[in-house]
Structures are given as C-alpha cells and as structure tokens.
Amino acid sequence: MTLAANTFDERVIARLLEFSDDSTPWSRRLWQPGTVLIARELLEAGDPAMSASERALSTLQDELIARVMLDPAVSSPTDRSATRKMLTVPVSSLVKPGHSWHVLNAWAATTRAEYLANWAMALGNGMGLPSAECTARLLAAHLFDEGFSRKYVHRWLTYRIKHSGDVHTLASMCLELHSQLVTGPKPLEVLVPLAAHVPMPRPVPAGWLTSDQVRDWRAANVPGWRPIRQHGAVLLTVEALDIYAATDIARDRLTAIRDRFRVGGRREISPAAEMWVAGVTASQPTEAPSRRVQVYAFERQSALWSHSVRPDIEAAMELMAPLERGPAPAATTGAWAAVESLLVGPGDDAKHLAADRLALILAGGHLRAELTSLAWAHAKSACDALASELQRLETNQERAERTLAHLVSGDDLTLARPEDRHALDRVQAALSDPYRYVDLVRRSVEPALRALYRQRNLLSHAGGTAGVAIKPTLERAAPLVAAGMDRIVHVALTGGQSALELAALARVRHEALRGRPAALALKVLEI
C-alpha cells in the first residue's frame, strides 16, 4: 500500500471507496449532499423563477448553517460563529437579486473555489476535524456534486493506495483533486453509433456522421480500433472532468435527441449498445446504468406472478418505474409521486411529511440491514460455530438477531474486509442507545428525501430540468426510495398493512426504544 500510515486517513479512504462503488448497499451509501451544493441549491431557490416555497428556503438555510458548524473546509473553528451570523438572515431576504442573496452567492463562490484546498490544510494541521465518517461523507459529496463520476473516483483512489510508487496522504490527494477542479472540465468527443439506418438530410447536419465518417473517426480517435457494424452515428462534444462523467452527459443528451425524434417526427433512431470517447480504446455502454432500485420483496414473497397485488402498491411501482434507468426528470417526479401516494393521508397538511415518514421506515430497518451484512461477512470469513449457525438460519431477520446477541454478549466477529470492520464500529452505538441510533439514521436520510420533494416541485412548478441539484439528489435518493418501498411492499404482502400503518407503527416503536434493549431495534418494522 502506498498510503502513509494514518488510521484516520485509512478509515476515510475506505469509506470513499464504498461511496464510489455502485454495488454498495443502501445502508452504507452516501446520503447527504455536499456543503457547497446546499448553498448552490439555496441560491437557485432564491430565484423567483424557481417558485420555491418559504419552507424550502428555510429548510435549506437551516441545513447550510448546521453544515457550516462542522465542515472545516467552509469555516475554521474560530470563524464559525461569524460565518453563521453572516448566513443567518430572514429567508424572505434571500431573493435574487437582493443584497443577502449576493452575499450568499459570493460566499458560495469563494468556498467552492478553495474547498478541497481548505480540506488539505485542515487535514494537515489536524485541528477542528470531524469524525472519519463525517469527513468521508463531506469529501465524497463534494467530489460527486462537482462532476466527478463514481467510477473515476474509485479507480483514482485505488491506483494511489495500491499501485502508485509515491506515498500519499489524504491531504495530498485533496490537493491533487483540487488541481483537477481548478483545471476544470475538458471538451471530449463521444461517438454513439446507430444500430439501424435512418435517412439523413443532405448535407449531413452538424453532430451526425455517415458510415464512412464513422469509420474515419474511429480510425483517428480509437487506439487499436476495429471495424464495427454501424449505420452512421451521433457525435457529441461534452465537457466533463473524466471520461465516465462524459458518457453520463452523453447519455442524457442522447435521451433528449431520441425523445425529440419520437414526438417530433415519424422516424426513431436506434443507438448501438456501445459508444466511444475519443482517445480511449475501451467502449462504454450506451444504456444508462442502474440506480439500484431493488424492491425484491415481490420475489421473496413469490408475488412477481401474482394478479392480486394491492392496487396502491401496484400503482406506486408503476409510478417509480423510471427510477431504475429513466431520465432524471421523469425518475424524480415518478419517485416522489410513488412516495406521496402511499405516505400522505387524510388530515395531513403538508406533502413533505411523506419524506419524514419514509425516513423513519428506513431508519427502522437500518440496523437489521447492517447486521445482516455483518452476519454474512462473518459466515464467509470464519470457520466457527457462529458462522455455521448463521449459514443454517432461514431468514435475514434471524441472522441479524443472532449477530446482535453475539455482540451484546461481548463477543467479536471475524471480518476480513476493513469496510465491514468499520461498519461494526458504527453499529456499536446501537448496543448502548438504540433510540439514538435509529434517530441518527432518520435525521441523516431525511434531508435526501426532502430534497427529492424539492426537486419534484422545481420540475413541476418551474420546469427546471437543469437544476443544480436534480441529478445529485436523484442518485442519493433512488436507493433510499427503493429500500423504503421494499419494506412497505414486504409488509403489504405478508401482513396486509398499508404504508401509513407501517409508518405509524415505526413511530410508536421508535419512541418505545428509549432505555430499552438493542434487540427491540430489530423489531421496529416487524408485523
């Protein structure tokens, strides 16, 4: 390993690798937005054209001020009170182009320009640092919000800690990434071949290539190229920080082009399965990657083939279908519509209550999800009686309960991966105070779900498909919505209860956890 020996750095980087791995389960993923993105979203909400409510402005301002009090890259410990005072203004004054809006805009621009450099400085002097977990979340959120792709961050970190001949620290890596952000996005050409013939106008429009031009472009831009079957191509020029981010942008552009053909003419275009970035040998898939929308309760309860699923559940699944791979606007509006349809009922005076209720459902299932992962990790790494017992148990609920009992008795687990060892450290808090543990998870995921509601409103009321937070919010909220829906569907299929009944039960049982054994935290959602 080429990482300087430092436990704090090792923990942070281990979590950064988890956050940038698309296979990471929802319970260990990144939920929070970056500090700078909160400020940018607040600025956007202050534009009268965005039709943001006063509640939305107030919520964002509260989130930003709370973040200022713990993020060393936006305010040092000695400056936090002054920064808080500067940002604490009546939300009615945070309207473009007012003075308070311009103050926030100037602060956000200055902070954004030096964010990672400030982190490097804070890590260097070691003063005022939050926990390793909080540090990893703040850094990962900023990297993704600024436009780095998860795949690039994962590969970039992996190379430096496993293959580089130089010795790296977290601070030095922050400076490297800061330099990349200072350089900014670079223009990249992305070639998307067509799988079927579409007659093109003459002369060929800009951004489109004939079959012969595709062959020539690939010969000039794809090292080690070979002929492929194609019928022309779309040639896109995008600006991105890395090649994987470039393909993400190209997919969005391609979706818009396909939609224009579908509704604006009598022909459709059929992109091939692979596309190429200029200068890169390996192709990239044309289809958008999965957002890990996994509602496997249908399969677990043998209901995939059923014709008698509850109508409200079936409607919610139809609404959230675009969440898996659909365009961000459709995925956002559909996901929120599904959540609201199940978790807002008679007597509710605000739609955001659906986000709060889903957050508590997720929090109620978080400990079980983590203990289940730890149970399987121990079963794969150990050769003891516990490992054998965990493999024999029939349900994950039983595995979680057995693992918790093992930990409560003071025994340890055999865990090969550092990610699992760090997860074990995090769940230790549930052993001593299960109420606080569940409440901390609730408060951590709630902002992501409220952000989904805000983005839905932006799309519905202002048509803001280019909002600064739409894509980052969707990437964070999608696995959360899916995990919450999985619990809701499970309860509907096994006990017949509605989502509102589950949310009510979760609230009552959460309150009952005060001063009670940790084992009860595994039963918050059990019917």
Q: Where does the pLDDT of residue 21 fall: very low under 50, low under 70, confident under 90, or very high at 90 and above?
A: very high
Q: Where does the pLDDT of residue 4 fall: very low under 50, low under 70, confident under 90, or very high at 90 and above?
A: low
Are the CB atoms for 119 and 174 separated by under 8 Å?
yes
Closest CA to 20 of 189, 178, 181, 159: 159
Question: Long-range contacts: 11-14, Cβ < 8 Å, 24+?
Answer: 11/132, 11/133, 11/136, 11/422, 12/132, 12/135, 12/136, 12/139, 12/170, 13/136, 13/157, 13/161, 13/170, 14/418, 14/419, 14/422
Closest CA to 335 of 448, 257, 259, 442: 448
C-alpha–C-alpha distance, residues 401 and 389, integer Å = 12
Overall average pLDDT of the 254-281 stretch: 95
For residue 461, how far is the Cα from the chain centroid? 24
Handedness of CA 302, 342, 434, 62 (dihedral sign): positive
Give the model confidence (pLDDT) of 69-90 as tens digits. 999 999 999 999 999 999 999 9
The SS3 of residue 189 is strand
Closest CA to 156 of 145, 146, 143, 137: 143
pTM, rounded to two decimals: 0.95
Question: DSSP readout, 264-276?
Answer: HSS----B-SEEE
Give the model confidence (pLDDT) of 314-369 as tens digits. 999 999 999 999 999 999 999 999 999 999 999 999 999 999 999 999 999 999 99
C-alpha–C-alpha distance, residues 483 and 150, integer Å = 21
